[in-house]
Amino acid sequence: MEIKKLNIIITLGFIAIIGIMIAQLLWTRQAYNLEDKKFNQKVNIALAEVVEKLSGGKTSFTENPVQNISNDYYVVNINNEFHPAVLEYYLRTEFTRFQINTDYVYALYNCHSDKMIYGKYMSKNQEAPSDKVINFPKHKNLIYYFSIRFPDKTTYLISSLRFWYLLTFALIIILLVYVYSIYTIIQQKKFSELQRDFINNMTHKFKTPLSSILLASEALNKNHIIQEDSKLQTYTSIIINQSYKLNNHIEKILNIAKNDASGLSLKPQKIVLLPFIQEIADNLQQKNEDLTLRIDVEDHSSIIADEFHFTNIVYNIVDNSIKYCETKPEITISSGKDSKGLYLKFKDNGMGIPAKNIPHIFDKFYRVTTKKSDEVNGFGLGLFYVKKIVQQHQWKISVENNIDKGITITLFFPF
């Protein structure tokens, strides 16, 4: 059902973006046509003004003297002789007045030679390109006229619409990012399902022989021959203890795989931090006599949390500090407040974490490669579990290296 919903969302999103893309392209095309029409109108008006000034205000045309022969080619009828320098002056003046800021070239018809005489290439950069060949076809019915051509008209119109093209380009980028993101999500979903199936199959396969080992070793440990031999009893105790430890690891992997699929079930309740942490600290110190654990938490500080999972968070953080310490572990748990919320800090004297590894320590199955990590048993799931619980409670967690030694893990509980 979830895959079907995902496919529907992907399809709708893809159709929506394609629709926006098509609409944007149509709007851009319409904007280009409008800009072209506006340009032609300005050129026609400017050239009509040039005709008016060249004829001294004595025009007697029954039809428009300006003819738009092609997209960038205009023929202008004058009906009397004119000087090229005067024409150039009026062209420059009127085109500037109407803000026609693109290159153009003009030519005049010489009735004596019956040819179009090349006038001048008028460039906004004041430099005429030498490699451009501009064609000026002769008009059949006119005698006194000149022609104008805009060789860079298309480029000029496109540059005036650069906002539309940038917007279209941005939409294409968004579409590509969307497609890539969807592809990545589908791949990650496949990998996640494959990983979860693998973990479930692997752990279930392990549990059957492990249960047999536990039953056999416990039965063996009760045998009077084993009980009379202290060395054999030690060996069977090691088998039993290590089997239980392995069983706990397998249960942890199974729970995380299950929670990845369905999410953790939380039962939030009010927890007063000082007695809660003190009880955990007492249990840990009974198990580890070398541990020095200082608690500096305010008396009435409290949070809303799932008691079981919050206990596991504290145990995991402190247990990591103990395991990754090369001397006698010293841990300080302190609290603080500001206008945003409550902070709970776990500072230790461990071996620290390389700065490049800190962003990855909450990843599933990730372990920092050190000599100590080779000695410590684990699958890299403890801090992944901690991060998952923190996210479900909508808290925040951060890690930083201390100036002297060890790390400080900070839990932030927003008000």
CA atoms within 13 A on the CB side of 27: 11
Q: Record the tokens describing residue 91, joined without a space.
A: 């062209």
Per-residue pLDDT, 50: 85
User: What is the C-alpha separation between 246 and 49, in angstroms, rounded?
Assistant: 95
* CA torsion through residues 168, 174, 176, 178, sign: negative
203/322: higher pLDDT: 322
Q: State the average pLDDT over residues 200-228.
A: 76
Rounded Cα gap, residues 276 and 113, in angstroms? 108
Mean pLDDT (the chain) is 79
Rounded-to-integer distance, Cα 75 and Cα 151, Å: 15
Supply the pLDDT for residue 290. 80
Reference 133, options 146, 151, 119, 158; nearest CA is 151
Pick the more confident residue, 300 or 261. Answer: 300
- pLDDT, position 374: 58
Task: Using the CB atoms, write b or e for 336-351: b if 16+ within 10 Å.
Answer: eeeeeebbbbbbbbbb
Lookup result for tokens 């900070």: 410
Tell me the pLDDT tens digit for each residue of 69-88: 888 888 888 877 778 888 88
3-state secondary structure of 214: helix
Quote the pTM value: 0.46
* Cβ–Cβ under 8 Å, residues 150 and 104: yes
Res. 412 pLDDT band, cuts 50 70 90: very high
Least confident of 23-37, 38-52, 373-387: 373-387
In the prediction, which pLDDT does 107 show?
84
Per-residue pLDDT reduced to its tens digit, 16-37:
878 887 887 888 888 888 888 8
Across the range 211-237, mean pLDDT stands at 80
